[in-house]
């Protein structure tokens, strides 16, 4: 049952810092279709070099566009030709296949570097819409493919892509010496996972700083909850909240100077704002109910949070400096774990319906409520930085997975690793 409110009562034991490379990349399964998807073909990139190319750039781009839920990729078995340069293209062949746009490209080895070039073409006009050449080392080839994917996405849809971003999550495994929690970050497609923290005790609630350089999270290394901030690049970390009682649910302010946190004091669990430069907190809510899971609006003026003050979990808004609380959700008797879209116009949440616990979204003013997922145990929604996808945790066939759902159409994907339970995802800025 995805009641993150219950986590406030959790007690745990000791921690061992151990940055290691995570062993398992996320395995991706994509299901569902998309309404008004853009028909496009990505031709396998040409290769000039010794042996096989280190990365399949065309496949990475194809997978990215498919994952977005806004493109319909022509299967390679339907290709009539496989051009790598514009002069090799018979546009009539592609028009006959119902393709609107075509992506071609080449990878050329140049010593220990690689030149990656691509073109995005309008099939009906027979003209080039975008194109660029990149020079990359072997470790940066996937980044080049993600960058190309972002450029194609923005050229065709008019908004930035989110392929060249990262995700963080908690991976839990049962090992011979006992259960272990790892705080992991990876590319948005699940590749290149790296564990920056390994613990015998629970790690919870990772939250990215606005600059994408730090993670705040909850650890139980002192037999109670504490909040840490850790640098991604160096692994250095700082304990920022170790107050008596509960310290939970950190969320960065847009300016990166404060954290909204959940604290218990005097028998109440309320929202507080922690000043990272002084270590001082200011209480925002004051109610006998449990107030938790606060997130900031983009302008930094308000906090959106979960409270059971109405008898069951619902989502509310309050000014960041305190004041009157406004209820935002009224659909059903369970709405929790709010995530706010980057433009502040939509709230994603965990909603309970007849299926179980699903991810739903609504406008900030309460209109246009809709359910996005079909699981029974979906939790922890997190928006992509372009607002087009939502990352969440789910359970299927006894496995704990990550899922993404498109806000456009009906495209969904799940990501899993062998032998690990994946929880509490967060998408980077």
Give the model's pLDDT for residue 418.
75
Residue pair 102/89 in contact by the 8 Å Cβ criterion: yes
pTM above 0.75, yes or no: yes
Q: How confident is the model at residue 17 (pLDDT cuts 50, 70, 90)?
A: very low
**pLDDT surpasses 70 at 283:** yes
Looking at the predicted structure, is the pLDDT value of residue 1 above 90?
Answer: no
Q: What is the pLDDT of residue 53?
A: 96
Q: Quote the pLDDT of residue 10.
A: 34
Q: With cut-offs at 50, 70 and 90, classify the pLDDT of residue 197.
A: very high
Task: Note the pLDDT of residue 177.
Answer: 84
How do residues 76-135 score in pLDDT, each as one tens digit? 999 999 999 999 999 999 999 999 999 999 999 999 999 999 999 999 999 999 999 999
Mean pLDDT value across the chain: 91
- Taking only the tens place, the pLDDT of each residue in 203-212 is 999 999 999 9
Q: What pLDDT does 8 receive?
A: 40
Sheet containing strand 314-319, strands side by side: 291-296, 302-307, 314-319, 326-327
Beta strands in 176-300 (DSSP E): 178-187, 194-199, 203-208, 214-219, 226-231, 237-241, 247-252, 258-265, 268-275, 281-283, 291-296
Contacts 24+ apart (CB under 8 A), 215-220: 215/168, 215/183, 215/185, 215/426, 216/240, 216/250, 216/251, 216/252, 216/259, 217/183, 217/250, 218/247, 218/248, 218/249, 218/250, 219/15, 220/10, 220/11, 220/12, 220/13, 220/15
Q: Tens digit of pLDDT for each residue in 124-166? A: 999 999 999 999 999 999 999 999 999 999 999 999 999 999 9
Please check the confidence at residue 16 and state whether its pLDDT lies above 50. no
Please give the pLDDT value at position 12.
Answer: 28
Residue 315: its pLDDT value, please? Answer: 99
Please report the pLDDT score of residue 252 as a whole number: 99
**Residue 416 banded pLDDT, cuts 50, 70, 90:** confident
Q: Is the pLDDT of residue 21 over 60?
A: no
């Amino acid at each position: 049952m995805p009641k993150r409110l219950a986590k406030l009562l959790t007690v745990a034991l000791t921690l061992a810092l151990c940055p290691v490379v995570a062993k398992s990349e996320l395995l991706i399964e994509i299901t569902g279709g998309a309404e008004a998807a853009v028909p496009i073909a990505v031709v396998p990139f040409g290769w000039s070099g010794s042996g096989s190319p280190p990365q399949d750039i065309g496949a990475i781009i194809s997978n990215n566009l498919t994952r977005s839920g806004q493109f319909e990729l022509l299967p390679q078995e339907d290709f009539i030709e496989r051009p790598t340069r514009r002069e090799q293209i018979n546009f009539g062949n592609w028009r006959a296949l119902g393709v609107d746009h075509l992506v071609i490209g080449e990878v050329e080895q140049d010593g220990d570097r690689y030149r990656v070039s691509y073109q995005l073409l309008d099939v009906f006009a027979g003209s080039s819409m975008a194109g660029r050449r990149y020079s990359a080392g072997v470790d940066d080839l996937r980044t080049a493919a993600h960058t190309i994917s972002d450029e194609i996405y923005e050229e065709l849809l008019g908004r930035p892509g989110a392929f060249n971003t990262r995700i963080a999550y908690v991976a839990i495994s049962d090992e011979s010496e006992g259960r272990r929690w790892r705080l992991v970050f990876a590319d948005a497609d699940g590749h290149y996972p790296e564990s920056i923290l390994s613990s015998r005790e629970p790690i919870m609630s990772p939250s990215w700083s606005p600059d994408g350089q730090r993670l705040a999270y909850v650890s139980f290394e002192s037999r109670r909850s504490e909040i840490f901030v850790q640098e991604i690049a160096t692994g250095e970390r700082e304990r920022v909240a170790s107050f008596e009682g509960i310290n939970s649910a950190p969320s960065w302010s847009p300016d990166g100077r404060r954290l909204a946190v959940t604290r218990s004091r005097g028998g109440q669990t309320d929202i507080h704002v922690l000043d990272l430069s002084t270590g001082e907190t200011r209480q925002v809510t004051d109610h006998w109910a449990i107030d938790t899971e606060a997130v900031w609006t983009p302008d930094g003026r308000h906090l959106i949070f979960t409270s059971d003050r109405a008898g069951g979990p619902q989502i509310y808004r309050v000014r960041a400096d305190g004041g009157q609380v406004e209820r935002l959700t009224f659909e059903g008797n369970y709405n929790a774990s709010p995530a706010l879209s980057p433009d502040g116009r939509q709230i994603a949440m965990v909603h309970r319906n007849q299926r179980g616990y699903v991810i739903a979204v609504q406008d900030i003013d309460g209109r246009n409520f809709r359910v996005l997922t079909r699981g029974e145990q979906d939790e922890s929604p997190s928006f992509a930085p372009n607002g087009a996808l939502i990352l969440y945790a789910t359970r299927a066939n006894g496995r704990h997975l990550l899922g993404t759902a498109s806000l456009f159409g009906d495209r969904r994907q799940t990501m899993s690793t062998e032998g690990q339970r994946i929880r509490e995802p967060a998408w980077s800025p």
